[in-house]
Chain A
Amino acid sequence: MIKSRWMLFLFVLFSAGAIAAGAHAEVIGAPQPWEWYFRTAATPVQEDLIWFHDLIFWVEVVIVLFVMALMIYIVVKFNAKANPTPSTRTHNTFLEVIWTVLPVLILVVIAVPSLRLLFFMDKAKNPEMTLKITSHQWYWSYQYVDNGGFGFDSNLIPEADLKPGQLRLLDVDNRVVLPADTEIRLLMTSEDVIHNWAVQSFGVRLDTVPGRINETWMKVPAAKIGTYYGQCSELCGVNHAYMPIAVDIVSKQDFQRWVEQAKTKFASADDAAPMKVVQAETQSSIDAR
């Protein structure tokens, strides 16, 4: 009895902790010191991407080691001391055919999964919601077109205003909040110059081009709920290094709760004229499409 009460207590404690953690989501997709490999994959696209990268990577490691072995052999066996009389052989048809055909076969082995992944990552099949991303010099704005059409700007938190635990050059005032287990269509455009919305853990990296709307997608499973970071990845002027991306992936329920709050929060904060103008513009351009 006592034992089960303890269990109950622990359970409550744990749940409370989990809810608290939900409010300050666990950071999953941030760069780590001395990292030399990909960040944790959060989407099926990025998981496949890493698998496919590793396939190419090991093929290439074998090729590099093979060439290195041949070169070491050449240094040892065919230096002027070890081999005073050079051979005069300048042809070997069999060898020449082999080193032409073998690379072709290797490339075919690489090309097949490459194209499969390319078509898989291209567009959402059945998007459940759409996030509209607009880049500016030098911040991002986001519109939730399927959730009441509210939108907000997302600016870098300057170094002086950082709270403990916040990441320099990565944390923003208003994070993008998106639901887990949801196929999300991302539409991107730019108001001024070309930028690039890149979040590595999602396998998303797409230019935002003025006059164009680019499309891609993402879907994060509930197991990967947490915070993810990215940075603008196309030179866009003086503050190119200062327009990061921060995304909170939350459960569907938390997302609905957040949407209700956000509608009021950003509706009032939104009276600043420029935001409205941008929204109107991009809405009509979506319609036009």
Chain B
Amino acid sequence: MADTHAHAHHDHGDHGEHAHHPTGWRRWLYSTNHKDIGTLYLVLAIIASFVGVGFSMMMRLELAEPGLQFIHDQHFYNVILTAHGLIMVFFVVMPALIGGFGNWFIPLMIGCPDMAFPRMNNISFWLTAAGLILVALSTVVGGGAGTGWTVYPPLSNHTFHPGMSVDFAILSLHLAGAGSILGAINFITTIVNMRAPGMTFHRMPLFIWAMFITAFLLLLALPVLAGALTMLLTDRNFHTAFFEPSGGGDPIFWQHLFWFFGHPEVYIMIIPAFGIISQVVSTFSKKPVFGYLGMAYAMASIGVVGFVVWAHHMFTVGFNVETRAYFIIATMVIAVPTGIKIFSWLATMWGGSIEFKTPMLYAFGFIFLFVVGGVTGVTLSNAPVDMAFHDTYFVIAHFHYVLSIAAMFAIFTGMYYWLPKMCGKMYNEKLGQWQFWITFVGVNILFFPQHFLGMAGMPRRIADYPDAFAGWNMVSSSGAVVSLVGALLFFYILWDTLRNGAKAPANPWGIGATTLEWTVDSPAPFHTHEILPEIKAEPAGHH
């Protein structure tokens, strides 16, 4: 158990809430406070999710039956599937998990007053917000970008997308990427230099480990994306030929660069989720994490190996057989540390005294569904089988199980778990559990049949499909409606909590919640840990 002196700050900390800081719009625009910036990121993710989820609902409604229902312009369908991907990845999952929870809880959990570079934190957020505006514009100016979120040339080059839309999408990713790089530098500096006295690396909570590893992935992967995007931008506007075969370039070069970023990006979205799930499983089982060091180094090795497997997204581009053989083996290696994580979570719960409150339900659901999405990943890692599945709905089902379900479930887990700390009020437990079950049932009806569609060979990214695929598509679309009910109920719960929620104690979760954020008041005062807590004993899970 962690043994801290954090309550000491109450003696001096009263001025914290009344400290001089700007109010009104200035408080948010000029904010350098990690909690306010975390809140801004969460609000950004919520706003972006209205758009991103709205687009996915449009796609599912269009696909409910064969033939064209209401999207008569196929290009418009391509535009919304592109925007859905970009918005969900860069402006919902990343801002929520990394910018939102990371900014809120890294300083609170390592016991320091704020992030290392508060002003840089501000610009990180506003770059991301500007990116969201640009990606939204990319759907309306210049005809819209119908390239898919992968933006493969030649389809994305000037010949096939002559309008400004792709340039807007590129600049959007440039801005969001720059914001994320600055954020990553901030996270790394904070975690390396500002841990409370006594909190050695091997005593950090697993959420901090997760954010630390994620920050390195961001720092190494995003510059590669930025370089690739710049080349695409000059190909489009200044007649360079990096990806132009007629000028000596190669479209496959783009795919290598994109996926060198894109595969670590997958772990950028899921490793923070691992961190949240570890905290919640330990808290609600009232047990320290089982195999703490194994868990930390499993995440680190997933991060490292994640950089050398990128071309498994490209098994059908036609590169030579030995290259494919290497990428099969390298990709399968990742299953080993992932398995360690799954089994360690199960072992953490084993022998526990588990309270199935809403965050724990979500964590529990995460673990099971991540296993389902994980094993289909093993299927797809085998290039020969990928010959049956590449660019079919099987791939859609796989990555929505690990992203739409698992990463979104981790966001819900974190929201329910930390909401009392962030807003000082308790959500309605009964409604929370209803929300979990509705969402759980909805996403499974939505995505499980897509495995069948993939087996039957239905290609992705089409607005109309051969009539034989109608049955499962209708099932999938009805699942989307159920999921939407779950999502709307979540927003109601959020509103209800802020308006009517009961006052939350500093630690609403009992003896299992041993990390430092539960030692400060709820809501967390504007300034916290002004007197550094001292970590005397080993943290959860390490003896």
Contacts and interface: CB of A to CB of B under 8 A. Distances in A.
A196 to B, nearest CB: 6
Nearest to A205: B387
Contacts of A6: none
Contacts of A114: 328, 382-385
B384 A117 contact: yes
Interface stretch (A9-17, A49-57, A139-147): A49-57
B391 A107 contact: no
A180 interface: no
B462 A241 contact: yes
Contacts of B148: 235
Nearest to A188: B318
Contacts of B75: 237-238
B457 interface: yes
A253 interface: no
B290 interface: yes
Nearest to A168: B467
Contact of A90 (B461, B464, B543): B543
Nearest to A102: B339
B491 interface: no
A196 B456 contact: no
Contact of B457 (A68, A86, A137, A198): A198
B350 A235 contact: no
A232 B392 CA distance: 10
Contacts of B74: 238-241
Interface stretch (A27-35, A255-263, A266-274): A27-35
Interface string A36-61: 11110000001011001100110010
Given A35-B452, A169-B465, A214-B318, A194 B457 contact: no
Nearest to B76: A238
Nearest to B510: A80
Contacts of A230: 457
A87 B351 contact: yes
Contacts of A68: 368
A209 to B, nearest CB: 6
A167 B470 CA distance: 14
A103 interface: yes
A63 interface: yes
B525 interface: no
A19 interface: no
B364 to A, nearest CB: 7
A49 B383 CA distance: 10
A126 interface: no
A38 B251 contact: no
A203 B294 CA distance: 40
B66 to A, nearest CB: 7
A96 interface: yes
Contact of A36 (B147, B344, B354, B472): B472
Contact of B252 (A52, A67, A110, A212): A212
Interface residues of A, number: 92
A204 interface: yes
A115 B325 contact: yes
Interface in B374-397: 375-376, 378-379, 382-385, 387-388, 390-392
A284 interface: no
Contacts of B50: none
A70 to B, nearest CB: 5
Interface string B287-326: 1111110100000000000000000000011100100110
A70 B219 CA distance: 38
Contact of A110 (B347, B364, B378): B378
B44 interface: no
A85 interface: yes
Nearest to A31: B468
Interface in A182-218: 188, 192-194, 196, 198, 200, 203-207, 209-212, 214-215
Contact of A60 (B375, B469, B471): B375
Contact of B390 (A209, A229, A233): A233
Contact of A121 (B288, B318, B387): B387
A110 B372 CA distance: 18
Given A210-B251, A214-B318, A241-B74, A53 B457 contact: no
Contacts of B316: 196, 205-207, 233
7 contacts: A49-B385, A49-B387, A52-B384, A87-B287, A192-B159, A200-B457, A203-B388
Given A86-B353, A87-B352, A205-B316, 15 more contacts: A48-B384, A60-B378, A64-B371, A78-B354, A88-B288, A90-B289, A90-B291, A92-B347, A103-B339, A168-B466, A168-B467, A196-B391, A198-B457, A233-B459, A235-B155
Interface of A: 30-39, 46, 48-49, 52-53, 56-57, 60, 63-64, 67-68, 70-71, 74-75, 78-80, 83-92, 95-96, 99-100, 103-104, 107, 110-111, 114-115, 117-119, 121-123, 137, 167-170, 188, 192-194, 196, 198, 200, 203-207, 209-212, 214-215, 229-241
List 6 tightest A-B contacts by C-beta distance, closest first: A211-B245, A214-B318, A87-B351, A36-B452, A241-B462, A60-B375
